Structure 1
Amino acid sequence: MRADLESCALLRAIARSSDAKQVPRLAANVRDWNSLLELAEEHRVLPMLFLRLVDMGPPVPQFVLEHLRTEYETNMFNTLANAVELIAVLKAFEDKMIPAMPFKGVVLGASIYHDLTTRPAGDLDLLIHYRDLVQATTVALERGYELETPVNADGTPANLDYYEYHFERKTDGRVLELRWRLDPTMPRFRRDLGLDWVWPRRRTTVLAGADVPDMSPEITLLMLCMHGSKHVWSRLLWICDVAQLLASSPGLDWKEVTYEAKEAGLSRTLALGILLARRVAGATVPQAILQCFEADTTARLLAQHIQNNLFDAPGSTPPGHIPYNIQLLDFRDRVRFLLSMDLLRPNERDQAVFPLPKSLHALYYLIRPIRIFLDRSAR
């Protein structure tokens, strides 16, 4: 169902701190408050909406304020419970000498929003070493969690292409996810973006009175852009997170960010996240960086499509012959993708038609397309 224009306009203003003065006028224009509440919930910005509207007065109906207040207080309780549980899990891991890096969720709220209640309470996400997975699983089970991910008899993952263990605790509904790699949109070509990537640059964030490890702003920015791009930026919250990180990190090392993005094959993913944060949430971006990302035609067109469809068709990918996840790849990873496809992978027939010494077998990647073309032309 198409989102109504008044609700969309208000949520856009909620996302942009520079539009704060416009919020009362836009709130007065809202005709379908139930539609607004549904849209805000879908985009995970109900807490933000409450904080902007709570003191506004007459333009906001009482039933809307009551609903928002109830949701806000429920989220506040769940967020504080998540913080307490995360601190306890980290302490249990520390006792077993298991390094663990929390990300997203309550740590993100504490580090960039400086307010746990601004973001919805989500899962507990921890990045660990794969070598610690079995021991970390034991700790989680001892804390009452149940493993929902299929595993082998020795506790190793049943699916080697899956880099996450998902735990649920039935007594309170808490969800814990242990990861040993962060995942771009194209898992097959990811670098090993694991704990070794984030741990040396870590900082400390105060969470509910306790010091907890936290990713550096530079790595956090790349992680947020990775996560948002993986889900086609289908939630306004994820765009707000990028904008808020930029606002809370005036000393961000852009040289390090762009270098790490290039090394990890995330240059276009970074560009897309920054362009959306600028266009949708009004983020402040250094002019030279913005010009560089705007010069990327593919990133610019992707950002325009996502911006245009954010509320009416969230998560939709641009039409065309090139899949969205391939468009996010830089040239080097696109080549790797093409070379990995069975269609272009040399086989015994190629070697039979064009015998070459072993030292020249790499040439079969060039010969195979020609051989396929000749075969099809002869039909």
Structure 2
Amino acid sequence: MSTIHEWEQYTADFPQELKLILSMIKGDLTVITPEDAQIRIKGMDWQLFLQLAHHHRLYSVLYLKIKELNSAIIPAFVVENLKQQYTTNTFRMLHLTAEMEQVCGAFRERGIRNITLKGPTLAHDLYGDISLRTSKDLDILIPFDDVEFAEEILESLGYESKEGKRTPTVASWKWREHHICYKHPVKRTQVEIHWRLNPDSGRETDFELLWKRSRFSTYTQTPVRMLEREDLWAYLVTHGARHGWFRLRWLLDIDQMIRSMPLDVKKVERRLKAEGRLSIGSQALHLASVLLDTPLDANYLALLSSHERVGEKLARRGVVFMNEMIESPADVKSYRSYLFALRSTRQKLFFFIERLYPSTWDVDQLPLPRSLHFLYFPLRPFLWFWRRIKRNTMTERG
């Protein structure tokens, strides 16, 4: 359990509206008198409250929390706004469910094994109710060698690549990237096809093992696979950390898993250690315990302590992104150095090695025949420098 001092340190720069959101999620307003609650909300900027609720994708949870209060202390227009967003999200998640079953079914029928990473199945798995979590797209993990075939299937279903038709490129493109994104122009649904769980070049569990350990969702009528719970926990903390936890919804997922889902934490710890991500697990537990009062048993406390100093430093850096209503953590100046701090020593070494490999940008910038692709290696430093010069020139003109 966190202390009041820790809470004050982590939330020192948070507006009172964000602090109220956290208090509501924790249920603080249900254990105090209506008079004390009235004092807590005095001077609240309710428009900012609604903006923050939407930004952090917590409107559905907050709507139900306010209903539980059964009190008139929250302005009616705030309750109505949250109710509308809750209702809209419910229909959106039902729509995504139908699309998920169609896409996963199409892959399955054509022999492509697939595992859903988030979306409606995760919402049902964590909260027992798909309306309590938001999703803008479907994230589906498939084997590395099936990516091109999966693209053909998506195109046959009417999906279009968000990046447009990919330029024939060097063979390393799938090694340097971890997913591709497709959008349906009519249905307005988005599908991300993953062949790796993470964009970095660090060690991670291969698809065959993830598939062997995967389980069927209890939500869908057709067979849809999900990650094993321990793999899911490791994936969600890594995903949240990589994005700087700039949406509190991701941290609430971790809180919900710890509170309601039995896990073999020692197994989780071994997997994080094998991938060089123990500090990320520690960071998530620091943030959840301080901001959401997530209860940590002896096993979780052992995981938190495994890299406690680094985990706490990363946690303090992470709250910076929560405090900014940004569309991407990359909009924050410190994001690059934060991302680098997340990496283990081995991952940092691979990061520098990876910089030497040609990218799709190199191919777009200087198209060469496939027989001459080997020239991208010696040309890469020059192409990189050329892009920097052009980018700086455009910035100055803009």
Pick the TM interval, shorter chain: 0.7 to 0.9
Aligned AA (1:279): V
Structure 2 residue 82 is the aligned partner of structure 1 residue 82: no
Q: Does 1:137 align with 2:151?
A: yes
Q: Aligned pair count?
A: 336
Residue 206 of structure 1 aligns to a residue in which SS?
Answer: coil
Moved more, 307-316 or 261-270: 307-316
Distance 1:263 1:195, change over 3 A: same
TM-fit CA distance, 1:329: 2.5
Q: 1 CA distance for matches of 2:23 and 2:145?
A: 46
- Counterparts of 1:73-152 in structure 2, within 5 Å, are 73-149=87-163, 150-152=165-167
Aligned-pair identity in percent equals: 24
CA spacing shift, 1:197–1:272, aligned 2, 3 Å: farther
CA apart distance, 1:330: 2.9
d(CA) in 1 for partners of 2:223, 2:55: 32
1:199 and 2:214 are equivalent in the alignment:
no
Q: Contact 1:7–1:30 at 8 Å: present in 2 too?
A: no
Of residues 56, 59, 71, the one that matches 1:43 is 56
Opposite residue 214 of structure 2, the aligned amino acid is R
Unaligned runs of 5+ in 1: 343-379
Q: Counterpart of 2:82?
A: 68
Is 1:323 the counterpart of 2:323? The answer is no
The one-letter amino acid of 1:13's match is: S
SS in 2 for 1:99: coil
Counterpart Cα distance in 1 of 2:194 and 2:347: 23
SS in structure 2 of the partner of residue 177 of structure 1: strand
Q: Secondary structure at the match of 1:137?
A: helix
Structure 1 CA distance for aligned equivalents of residues 27 and 298 of structure 2: 19
Counterparts of 1:242-257 in structure 2 under 5 Å? 242-250=254-262, 252-257=263-268
Task: Find the aligned partners of 1:40 and 1:137 in 2 and give their Cα distance.
Answer: 35
CA distance in 2, matches of 1:96, 1:44: 35
**Larger CA deviation: 216-225 vs 331-340:** 331-340
Are residues 192 and 3 of structure 1, via their aligned partners in 2, closer, same or farther at CA, if it must alter by over 3 Å? closer
TM-score (norm 1): 0.79
Write the distance in 1 (CA, Å) between the matches of 2:217 and 2:30.
28
Higher mean displacement: 303-312 or 17-26: 17-26
1:165 equivalenced with 2:180 (yes/no)? yes
Residues 1:12 and 1:215: Cα distance change in structure 2 (over 3 Å): same
Distance 1:95 1:255, change over 3 A: same
Whether 1:6 aligns to 2:40 is: no
Distance in 2 separating the partners of 1:125 and 1:89 = 11
Which residue of structure 1 lines up, in the alignment, with residue 372 of structure 2? none
Paired residues of 1:267 and 1:330 also in contact (CA < 8 A): no
Give the secondary structure class of the aligned counterpart of 2:256.
helix
For 1:305 and 1:153, locate their aligned partners in 2 and report how far apart those are by CA, in whole Å: 39
Match of 1:179 among 188, 194, 200: 194
Could you say if the C-alpha distance between residues 129 and 340 of structure 1 is closer, same or farther in structure 2, counting changes exceeding 3 Å?
closer
Counterpart Cα distance in 2 of 1:29 and 1:3 = 19
Q: What's 1:215 paired with?
A: 227
1:16, distance to aligned residue in structure 2 (A):
2.3
